[in-house]
């Protein structure tokens, strides 16, 4: 693997997650047309959204204490270019993730559009309902890395009407060419999370034609996922965070008490089988198992990735970030060196199983390293063995993009006709 971050943007993305960066006085994010640094994003990150070389979108930690020791500095040159430097040494030219015009708009109900949904990379993330109930119990059992409950009243509006979410989703499609919208909820008593989400899903799918993803706890009635698929959902994601059962209990006491690790795994596996039936029609349906690397031994994270891919699901691997004011704000951030094998396993296991990574059009993710991006962490000689599969995937990507945009055009024509009628 190329160890020089000037030549390896994948390694740079990982190293920036682990070490963060300082912002030089030459930078003024809002004045530069970039996105504001939101306090929290889906409870996972807070930081500067930028685009690294090779079109790798990322969210660089800049606010947490550990970033004060970072060797990286984000600077503006006299000619206006933005760079990541290591000390005074230039490492990579970067661009700020563009700040969409709709970020300054309000909904017709008078709320800031960014309080309804925000871009994470190039997709829209929406947390439409009230805060996760682990936070509001008498003795909260929230996940210890999570910041969702700290966010209330700050960047996120609590109640979001279906019409407000539709308005923002349409603004994001029109203004930012998004292709994918992700709905996220926490835990609610009575497992009402899918009941809550379904009206949003139906309305947003109908209004935008975009691909839709859903991230909730695992519902006891697995048949509900077939219904979601029929409704036009394309991705379901289950965050079990840790594969080591002892750590799972320790870090996620609410999830452990309410659902247990096994139920998350069963949901990942069940939904992966739903995807297999749609392979021939090219109908996108993906089951994701989501973990956080850096909160358990790397061997456990690798085991998790190996298991997720073995059942036909795709791993999403976040890197632990000790966010300010969370229970784990004083925990150490993982070391880059310890994380390389974990992230490399993401790419290698997906390729081994022939899973469709890097296929969805225009979905760049800033908060995690996508499996495809992790190819940068694998040696050239090992990558060579996947050459044929990579070629097939590139062809699949083209076909899928053509089909997706054709469907989107049909959707728009139908809507325009209905509006004119
Ligand atoms: S389930 Fe855990 S990670 Fe998700 S919102 Fe609730 S406390 Fe946060």
Residue 174: CB atoms within 10 A of its CB come to: 13
Output the CA 404–ligand 1 centroid distance in Å: 32
Which three-class secondary structure string do you get for 343-405? HHHHHHHHHHHCCCCCCCCCCCCCCCCCCHHHHHHCCHHHHHCCHHHHHHHHHHHHHHHHHHH
Dihedral angle of Cα 291, 10, 361, 176, to the nearest 10 degrees: 90
Query: CA separation (Å) from 210 to 38, 41, 71, 97, 128?
Result: 25, 21, 40, 21, 17
Ligand 1: centre distance to CA 292 (Å)? 13
Atom of ligand 1 nearest to the CA of 132: 6
Domains (range + CATH), the chain: 9-96 (no CATH), 108-403 (3.20.20.70)
Measured in angstroms, how far is the CA atom of residue 132 from the centroid of ligand 1?
Answer: 6
Q: Which residue has the higher pLDDT, 103 or 419?
A: 103
pLDDT value of residue 27:
78
- Rounded mean pLDDT of 164-173? 97
Residue having the nearest C-alpha atom to atom 7 of ligand 1: 142
DSSP sequence for 260-313: -HHHHHHHHHHHHHHHHTTTTTT---EEEEEEEETSS-HHHHHHHHHHHHHTT-
CA 44 – CA 50 distance, rounded (Å):
17
The Cα–Cα gap between 370 and 267 comes to 21
Q: What is the pTM of this model?
A: 0.92
Pocket of ligand 1 (CB under 6 A): 43, 132, 134, 142-143, 146, 148, 186-187, 255
Confidence band for 14, pLDDT divided at 50, 70 and 90: very high
The β-bridge partners of 118 are 125
Would you call 330 helix, strand, or coil by DSSP?
Answer: coil
Nearest atom within ligand 1 for CA of residue 217: 1
Residue 51 · residue 97 · CB < 8 Å: yes
For residue 301, pLDDT beyond 80 = yes
How many whole angstroms from 121 Cα to the centroid of ligand 1? Answer: 21
Q: What is the mean pLDDT of the chain?
A: 91
Ligand 1: residue of 152, 255, 256, 323 to mutate (most ligand atoms within 8 A of CB) is 255
Mutation pick for ligand 1 pocket among 40, 140, 143 (CB with most ligand atoms within 8 Å): 143
Nearest CA to ligand 1 atom 2: 143
**What is d(CA 253, CA 249) in angstroms, rounded to the nearest whole number?**
5
- Could you tell me the pLDDT band of residue 114, with boundaries at 50, 70 and 90? very high
Closest CA to 380 of 347, 336, 337, 338: 347
Helix (H, G, I), strand (E, B) or coil at 333: coil
Q: How far is the CA of 186 from the centre of ligand 1 (A)?
A: 5
Q: Three-state secondary structure along 140-208?
A: CCCCCCCCHHHCECCCECCCCCHHHHHHHHHHHHHHHCCCEEEEECCCCHHHCHHHHHHHHHHHHHHHH
pLDDT number for residue 40: 39
Query: How much is the pLDDT for 275?
Result: 78
Residue 219, φ and ψ in degrees, nearest 5: -75, 145
Structure tokens at 225: 């996922």
How many whole angstroms from 22 Cα to the centroid of ligand 1?
A: 29
What pLDDT is attached to residue 42? Answer: 39
Which range has the worst mean pLDDT, 120-134, 195-209, 286-300?
Answer: 120-134
Confidence category of residue 33, pLDDT binned at 50, 70, 90: low
Does residue 147 register a pLDDT over 50?
A: yes
Q: What is the pLDDT of residues 334-387, one digit of tens each?
A: 999 999 999 999 999 999 999 989 888 889 999 999 999 999 999 999 999 999
Please identify, by atom number, the ligand 1 atom nearest to the C-alpha of residue 131. Answer: 5
Assess whether pLDDT exceeds 60 at residue 281.
Answer: no
Return d(Cα 186, Cα 71) in angstroms, integer: 36
CA of 353 relative to ligand 1 center, distance in Å = 30
Q: Which pLDDT belongs to residue 43?
A: 39
Which is more confident, 278 or 24? 24
**Substitution candidate for ligand 1 out of 134, 137, 320 with most atoms within 8 A of CB:** 134
Query: Which of 292, 119, 92, 96 has its CA nearest to residue 210?
Result: 119
Of 130, 135, 148, best ligand 1 pocket probe by most atoms within 8 Å of the beta carbon: 148
* Alpha carbon nearest to ligand 1 atom 5, residue: 186
At residue 418 the predicted structure's pLDDT band, cuts being 50, 70 and 90, is: confident
Look at residue 412 and tell me whether its pLDDT is greater than 70.
Answer: yes
């Amino acid at each position: 693997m190329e160890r020089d971050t000037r030549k390896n943007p994948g390694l740079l993305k990982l190293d920036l997650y682990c070490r963060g960066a300082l912002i030089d006085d030459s930078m003024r994010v809002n004045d530069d047309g970039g996105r504001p640094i939101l306090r929290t994003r889906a409870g996972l990150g807070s930081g500067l959204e930028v685009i690294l070389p090779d079109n790798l979108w990322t969210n660089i930690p800049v606010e947490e204490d550990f970033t004060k020791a970072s060797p990286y500095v984000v600077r503006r040159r006299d000619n206006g270019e933005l760079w990541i430097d290591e000390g005074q040494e230039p490492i990579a030219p970067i661009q700020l993730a563009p700040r969409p015009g709709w970020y300054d708009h309000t909904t017709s109900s008078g709320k800031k559009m960014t309080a309804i949904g925000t871009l994470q990379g190039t997709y829209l993330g929406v947390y439409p309902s009230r805060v996760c109930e682990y936070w509001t119990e008498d003795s909260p059992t929230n996940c210890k890395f999570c910041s969702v409950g700290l966010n209330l009243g700050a960047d996120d509006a609590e109640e979001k009407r279906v019409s407000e979410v539709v308005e923002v989703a349409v603004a994001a499609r029109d203004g930012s060419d998004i292709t994918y919208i992700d709905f996220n909820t926490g835990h609610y008593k009575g497992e009402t999370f899918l009941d809550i989400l379904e009206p949003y899903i139906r309305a947003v799918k109908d209004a935008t034609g975009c691909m839709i993803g859903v991230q909730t706890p695992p519902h006891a009635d697995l048949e509900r996922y077939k219904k979601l698929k029929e409704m036009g959902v394309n991705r379901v994601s289950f965050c079990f965070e840790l594969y080591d059962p002892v750590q799972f209990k320790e870090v996620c006491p609410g999830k452990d008490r309410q659902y247990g690790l096994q139920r998350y795994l069963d949901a990942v596996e069940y939904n992966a089988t739903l995807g297999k039936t749609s392979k021939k029609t090219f109908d996108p349906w993906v089951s994701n198992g989501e973990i956080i690397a850096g909160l358990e031994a790397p061997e456990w994270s690798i085991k998790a990735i190996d298991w997720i891919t073995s059942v036909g699901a795709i791993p999403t691997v976040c890197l632990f970030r000790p966010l300010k004011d969370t229970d784990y704000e004083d925990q150490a951030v993982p070391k880059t060196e310890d994380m390389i094998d974990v992230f490399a396993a993401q790419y290698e296991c997906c390729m081994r199983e022939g899973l469709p990574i890097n296929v969805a059009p225009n979905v760049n993710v800033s908060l995690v390293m996508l499996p495809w991006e992790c190819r940068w962490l694998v040696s050239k000689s090992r990558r060579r063995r996947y050459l044929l599969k990579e070629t097939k995937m590139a062809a699949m990507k083209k076909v899928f993009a053509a089909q997706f945009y054709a469907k989107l055009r049909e959707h728009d024509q139908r809507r325009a006709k209905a509006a004119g009628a």
